[in-house]
């Protein structure tokens, strides 16, 4: 590979020798930071407008610069931008091309007072902001898909589990509402992160500030930022917004992974609660009968990929000194990969949830009378017996039914109930009804129909 002469690099005047070709490859970030071409061009347009505002560019020069930048953006969007040796990153590539289009005499003024330190920080914030706004939109679609399904299937009952053991009867919609609640919290956190990252570093220079008194508030407003980062050292060195974005991605993917694990279990032959659409399943190369939940397994698996991006980047920046250091170039690949993975995961999860079929009969036939043991204890609580005592009594009833090889505690006779505690009466039979059990849990967050509908309405209102 031929090497661009050092004097033509942005930083080349002090150097007399050529860069080791391997070092050039090791240093270059254009293969992945070209994703930010729109952000870089927008930043340069606004920055040059700021230079014109303080008299460092003429009106005619500004027009030519913006026309050239428009052509460069068109080349990128059409896949016609020609990369050349020496294009280290998106910034140098765009500035080199601008010089070819409008001449270096004018293009050479574009970088006046600006450093790649504040330039890349600006590009990153613009790019990440737009990506997170996109994620916010499709995450809202996922949540609304879950809420709609929950509302439509409000009457379906199923076992609720702790420790993967049958615990108490719940509504299928209550289970859906649980994950909708997780995702709404993710949605709210995302809004907060977008707000926090939306501050402008542009005009901070390399680290010490701008030497020509550029109007940083003008630049911030032109780029859609809410405010200006008030310390130039912080402006060029802060990557907390990258860490927060990766943390958010990690937490979201943890929720997606747990959702996937539940659905994988529920789709198994042993459960048979749900059936995935063919569009989100694959078969076996050997066993023709297999229908594998590959979409869910990939969602679960890709969570580890995102977790790794966060931990890897934290290790990269944990001990770098102030302010800008080249280590920070390692922010882009893990972040870009994580954001892409999250975007695809949201879309896949939305497709899975919207197209799966539930087996109402299988769900309800999985309910067993031992799941009403707590209701049996509650029956005596309503007669004034302390719960700690009723818990023991109910456990004794379960044991007696097991000892007698009965199919459930509901098969005990009244005399058998009374042999354990005389306070049992004939109305104990009313306890052994799953719908009744579910409908007793009307408190906020419960699994009664009214409580679940309130949950769904509350979650919708938070979007």
The residues annotated as belonging to the active site are 163, 284
Q: Which two tokens stand for residue 179?
A: 């994950």
Contact assessment for residue 90 and residue 123, using Cβ atoms and an 8 Å cutoff: yes
Residue 352 CA to residue 374 CA, distance in Å, equals 34
φ/ψ (deg, to 5) at 205 = 70, -155
Q: Which two tokens stand for residue 16?
A: 């007399």
C-alpha pair distances (Å), 249 with each of 121, 135, 165, 330, 334 = 20, 10, 30, 17, 11
Helix (H) or strand (E) holding 228: strand 227-228
Residue 201 CA to residue 76 CA, distance in Å, equals 25
Instruction: Look up tokens 């060029």; give the residue.
Output: 236
Residue 56 CA to residue 62 CA, distance in Å, equals 10
Residue 290 CA to residue 214 CA, distance in Å, equals 65
Q: Which two tokens stand for residue 385?
A: 């017996």
Cα radius of gyration (the chain): 31
């Amino acid at each position: 590979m031929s090497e661009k002469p050092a004097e033509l690099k942005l930083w080349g005047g002090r150097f007399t020798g050529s860069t080791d070709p391997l070092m050039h490859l090791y240093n270059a970030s254009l293969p992945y930071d070209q994703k930010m071409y729109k952000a870089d061009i927008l930043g340069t347009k606004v920055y040059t407008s700021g230079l014109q505002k303080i008299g460092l560019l003429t009106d005619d020069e500004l027009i030519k610069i913006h026309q050239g930048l428009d052509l460069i953006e068109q080349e990128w969007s059409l896949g016609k931008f020609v990369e050349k040796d020496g294009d280290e990153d998106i910034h140098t590539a765009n500035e080199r091309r601008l010089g070819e289009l409008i001449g270096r005499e004018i293009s050479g003024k574009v970088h006046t007072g600006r450093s790649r330190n504040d330039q890349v920080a600006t590009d990153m914030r613009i790019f990440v902001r737009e990506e997170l706004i996109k994620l916010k939109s499709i995450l809202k679609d996922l949540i609304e898909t879950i809420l709609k399904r929950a509302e439509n299937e409000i009457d379906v009952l199923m076992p609720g589990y702790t420790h993967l053991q049958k615990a108490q009867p719940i509504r299928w919609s209550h289970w859906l509402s649980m994950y909708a609640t997780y995702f709404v919290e993710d949605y709210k956190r995302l809004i907060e992160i977008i707000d926090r990252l939306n501050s402008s570093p542009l005009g901070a220079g390399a680290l010490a500030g701008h030497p020509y008194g550029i109007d940083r508030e003008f630049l911030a407003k032109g780029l859609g930022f809410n405010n200006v980062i008030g310390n130039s050292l912080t402006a060029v060195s802060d990557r907390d917004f990258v860490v927060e974005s990766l943390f958010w991605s990690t937490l979201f993917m943890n929720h997606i992974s747990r959702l996937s694990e539940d659905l994988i279990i529920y789709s198994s032959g042993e459960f048979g609660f749900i059936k995935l659409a063919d569009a989100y399943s694959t078969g076996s190369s050997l066993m023709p009968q297999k229908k594998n939940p590959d979409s869910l397994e990939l969602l679960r698996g890709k969570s580890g990929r995102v977790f790794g991006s966060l931990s890897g980047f934290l290790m990269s920046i944990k001990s770098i000194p102030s302010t800008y250091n080249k280590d920070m170039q390692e922010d882009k690949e893990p972040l870009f990969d994580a954001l892409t993975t999250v975007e695809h995961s949201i879309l896949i999860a939305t497709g899975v949830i919207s197209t799966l079929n539930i087996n109402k009969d299988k769900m309800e036939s999985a309910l067993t009378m031992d799941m009403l043991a707590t209701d049996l204890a509650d029956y005596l609580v309503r007669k004034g017996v302390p719960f700690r005592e009723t818990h023991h009594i109910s456990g004794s009833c379960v044991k007696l039914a097991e000892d007698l090889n009965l199919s459930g505690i509901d098969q005990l006779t009244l005399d058998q109930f009374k042999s354990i505690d005389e306070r049992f009466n004939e109305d104990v039979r009313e306890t052994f009804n799953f719908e009744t059990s579910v409908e007793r849990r009307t408190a906020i967050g419960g699994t009664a129909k009214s409580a679940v509908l309130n949950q769904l309405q509350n979650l919708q209102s938070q979007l």
